[in-house]
Chains A and B, each alone.
Chain A
Amino acid sequence: MERPAPECRLPSNSFPAASPGDGFLLRVQGLKKHFPIYKGLLGRTVGYVYAVDGVSFAIRKGETLGLVGESGCGKSTIGRCLLRLYEPTAGEIFFQGTDIGKLNPGEMIRFRTKMQMIFQDPYSSLNPRLRVREIIGEALRVHHLVPEGDWTDRVRQLLAEVGLQPDHMARYPHEFSGGQRQRIGVARSLAMNPDLIVADEPVSALDVSIQAQVINLLDSLKEKHGLSYIVIAHDLAVVEHISDRIAVMYLGKLVETARDRDLYLNPKHPYTEALLSAVPIPAPGGRERRKSRKLIQGDVASPINPPSGCRFHTRCPKMMEECRRIDPPLIEIGPEHHVACLLQGGGRS
């Protein structure tokens, strides 16, 4: 599963190296993000949206982690907290052994170059007033990533890497299709020579026929640049293709993390089972499997007032009485396979 960690290629990079013995590119511990709800004339805080409520995971260099869950479960919030676009309420984020929550703004700028984001909506993620040349090249110039005067060459090179033409440089975003725009977004991230890319629903806004192209592009860039990915999606089929490990989220918490195959062949959490049986089956014989589908009813409970005990108990087909009281921790049940469910022994240990 592990790939050899490629050398970091950013020349201007003086960031402290990963702490030895850690071995993880990114380690997140107890991450929480609570959004306050204001009300009334004086803006009193009347409650919180518990968007992310205690999430821990880790990624090795060269690994791709798929983060799945229904909309509103806090996937995107995690992504934005990692890049400190949102300030986490609690928890620690270690990137190459450094706690990025403790960095001052100056150090943060150097750090930012190593973690980038690809956004969901390619129609909103590119500044409509800048030409492609400027969209991709601005970071190169601002952070002096290439010698002055070489930046257009670098932009040309980046465009080629994401499968666009050099003469696209002089155009504006509105002259491109959704798929092409997403490629421009990818090139913009690559310009920073990142080690980790957080792809927030990178293909959900695209036509199905284009989705595979962009996913394949991400896959090929990973090998070439020694990237690690966190791919956020609500669609397991998208994540399946690209991920080494998958983390399933429900209402601000992780319910199951496992290697790609383990999760698909041997899901342990009732929510994961339900998600998997919701994936369409194109193969013959799918009709047979469809009969055994376990679809869950109802909507995600409110993150403002999450259910007591296990958060999934309100919709769980296997709900037991103690699920109402006990919030199961994420426990290891196999190699790299963690589940948070009382049925799997969680809470008893």
Chain B
Amino acid sequence: MAEIPTSNPEIDEAAPSMLSLVLRKMWHLRMGVLGGLLIFCLIFIALFCPYLSPHDPFKQDITKRLWKPAFMEGGKAEYPLGTDHLGRDLLTRILYGTRISLVVGLAAVILMLTVGVTLGLVAGYFGGKADAVISFLVNCMMGFPFILLAMSLVAVLGASLQNIIIALGLTGWPVFTRVTRIETMKLRDREFVLAAKSLAFSTRRILARHILPNLLPAILVLATVEVARAIIRESLLSFLGLGIQPPTPSWGVMLAEGRDYMLLQWWLAAFPGMAIFMSALGINLLGDALRDLVDPYLRKT
């Protein structure tokens, strides 16, 4: 007969240590931790790419063009991911591309947030005519194909980093307005907002301190997803030649350049594509975990 233990040592252990609590929490949010690590790597690379990259991203050497990656037969350890059609190091260009992607993603989303959340708050809180006008505008924007709008904006403004951000920001805000408007409408009639009104707080204070913080979880999750989308859209615009212009190393530009060599030199398109995928994945995983953390009802568990 097997002996039945009278007590489980793991359960008996008195108050769990801080470390084990943290570890348990991290296990609970393991996907978020993975996302966080990916994002951390991304930011680290963006900040320190001059020190990390083996070569100059702009230095062309026609004699070294289309070398294979180091892990393939004929590849050189000097160029770990091979070289492109102008003999530039692929790894170096991918590392430098991180900067463009992060800057565009973050700046575009900040622009979307400013426009979208403000309009959403106004439409949701005041309702009436303001809501009618803003909602109509949102519906028009949503019905308009993104590519067409972004293309015309870039065509008018000219293709530059700054204008890409403006184009992405001005096409992306309606999602934020929608979410903010609906959530604000739900909160507007809650009794704590009525209480704030009867305490004679200004409308600005009610919006900033009583409504906006309660919208944060929804907005935060949306914002992270939108960073990923903005990165993908920047690549798309650059791929079409409407975004970042060569020779600046943007992942989209590199995809476009690699397209011509897809059949034989597949790595030219595959590695920038993977970079886009990994960043978008990391941001989305982090966004999901953040939502769980920000929710005050889950904070104590």
Contact = CB atoms under 8 A, between A and B. Distances in A.
Interface of A: 80, 83, 85, 108-109, 112-113, 115-117, 119-121, 124-130, 138-139, 142-143, 172, 174-175, 185, 188, 192
B198 A83 contact: yes
A39 to B, nearest CB: 15
For chain B, the bracket of interface size reads 20 to 34
A117 B297 CA distance: 27
B192 interface: yes
Contacts of B216: 129
Cβ-closest 5 pairs across A and B: A112-B200, A125-B191, A119-B191, A129-B213, A127-B192
A144 B300 CA distance: 34
A174 to B, nearest CB: 6
Nearest to B299: A172
Contacts of A185: 195
Given A127-B214, A129-B296, A174-B297, A142 B201 contact: yes
Nearest to B195: A125
B73 to A, nearest CB: 60
Interface string B123-156: 0000000000000000000000000000000000
A92 to B, nearest CB: 20
Given A126-B192, A128-B296, A85 B198 contact: yes
Given A83-B197, A142-B200, A188-B195, 17 more contacts: A117-B198, A119-B194, A119-B195, A124-B190, A125-B190, A125-B192, A125-B195, A126-B192, A126-B195, A127-B213, A127-B214, A129-B213, A130-B213, A174-B297, A185-B195, A188-B199, A192-B199
B210 interface: yes
Contacts of B192: 124-127
Contacts of A126: 192, 195
16 contacts: A83-B198, A116-B198, A117-B195, A124-B190, A127-B196, A127-B213, A127-B214, A129-B214, A129-B296, A130-B213, A139-B199, A139-B201, A142-B201, A142-B205, A172-B296, A192-B199
A188 B201 CA distance: 13
A174 B198 CA distance: 22
Contacts of A113: 200
Contacts of A116: 198-199
Contacts of A108: 200
Contact of A138 (B197, B199, B213): B199
A80 B189 CA distance: 12
Contacts of B214: 127-129
Contacts of A117: 194-195, 198
Interface string B213-232: 11010000000000000000
A135 to B, nearest CB: 8
Contacts of A120: 191
Nearest to A116: B198
A174 B196 CA distance: 18
Nearest to A191: B199
A125 B205 CA distance: 17
A11 B216 CA distance: 38
Given A125-B192, A127-B210, A143 B198 contact: no
A185 to B, nearest CB: 7
Nearest to A127: B192
A120 B201 CA distance: 21
Contacts of B296: 128-129, 172, 174
A28 to B, nearest CB: 17
A301 to B, nearest CB: 26
A271 B97 CA distance: 78
A138 B198 contact: no
